[in-house]
Amino acid sequence: MSILIDENTKVVGQGITGRDGAFHTKKMLEYGTKVVAGVTPGKGGQKVDGVPVFNTVKEAVEETGANTSCIFVPHKFAVDAIYEAGDSCIELIVCISEGIPALDMVKAIKFLSDKKVKLIGPNCPGLISPEKCKVGILPGNIFKKGSIGVISRSGTLTYEIATHIVSTGLGISTCIGIGGDPIIGLKFIDYLKLFEKDEQTKGVVLVGEIGGQDEEEAAKYFKEYCKKPIVAFIAGLTAPPGKRMGHAGAIISGGTGTAKEKIEAFEKVGIKVAKEPEEVGTLMSMQI
């Protein structure tokens, strides 16, 4: 098994005719993902690498049965793309777009709360279930199928840690880049719930960073509900307070959200914390 996506996932690419949309659609197709449709208003009837383009998500879903949307739309139009996907019987939205105002995302998430749809992102690299499907911009060649779930707030750090996991002889069930903005869709706890139910997943790697309280909340959830081992890594240990580091959500404010606090929260409930990314695979191999 895996979570959220598999070999039966059917993807519609919103913004497929743009530079990024076209490039990553080709990469998803090469990986084996079933990209069945694209959407760019006014360009319906065209094709991108053999994928039919529609004017609306509703048309694409009705014609192809797409159940997952991957959004490559520029930030000025990305929230409208989320609304459109949420209104079109899509089950999963993966928003790659970055630079969306936080207030706009608050409204979008409230809108989606009344729908049966899950949102990953925005400002995320997407997700991959190795040898089955990838949705987004992750480099598929570095992932190997296995039993370790990965949940990460970082982008490129996700790829590095996945490489270290694979180098120890382990593989990955599903890897998700959840997004680095302060307002996102699914959070650590949501993914932990899914991995806890997944028979393929035997352990979970959680990659956090400074800012917010999501890691601390995940530690509390682990203590109460999780039976599968977790290994964590927190980026930003030397980050100065009050300075944003890379992501919009990676900022320490009011003395909270520091790497030290997050590490202490994990260790308090028995979660092993790697000091360096290359330690993650070794620590996990000792837990499962």
CA-CA distance, 9 to 65, in Å (whole number)? 10
Joined tokens for residue 202? 């035997």
Q: Is the CB of residue 150 less than 8 Å from the CB of residue 176?
A: yes
CA atoms in the 13 A half-sphere facing the CB of 161: 33
Who contacts 247 (Cβ-Cβ below 8 Å, separation ≥6)?
123, 153, 154, 180, 181, 209, 211
CA-CA distance, 72 to 211, in Å (whole number)? 26
**247 assigned to active site:** yes
Q: Which whole-number Å values give the CA distances from 223 to 40, 150, 239, 259, 260, in the listed order?
A: 45, 18, 28, 19, 19
3-class DSSP state of 100: coil
Joined tokens for residue 281? 């695979």
Q: Which of 24, 75, 164, 247 is catalytic?
A: 247
| Phi, psi of 161, deg, nearest 5 | -70, -35
Q: Which whole-number Å values give the CA distances from 241 to 210, 253, 280, in the listed order?
A: 10, 7, 26
Who contacts 70 (Cβ-Cβ below 8 Å, separation ≥6)?
11, 12, 13, 14, 24, 28, 94, 96, 126, 135, 136
Joined tokens for residue 172? 């990955």
3-class DSSP state of 83: helix
Look at the block and give the residue holding tokens 């879903």: 61
Catalytically active residues, by annotation: 247
